[in-house]
Structure 1
């Protein structure tokens, strides 16, 4: 997994590569799997669901 999330003042900042997003242009939500790096140290994985609209 190459995608990481770091906490910032606005919430989470995601960085990484997108593998695929089938029908992304018509989806209401996207699910992102990433490593959460709150203090620069890997503390495991996380899942985030966001509205695409």
Structure 2
């Protein structure tokens, strides 16, 4: 059995996927310091955490 996942990006792009199509997800807590600056390879933008 699979689960559908539907997302809409900020630019209006629609993404539809199913969990069975993905590799095993490594879900785990991730701790990042405040004011940490990182660069996204998805949209080529630099972000700073709150």
TM-score (structure 1 length as normaliser): 0.21
Which has more radius of gyration? 2
RCO higher in structure (CA 8 A, sep ≥6): 1
TM-score (structure 2 length as normaliser): 0.22
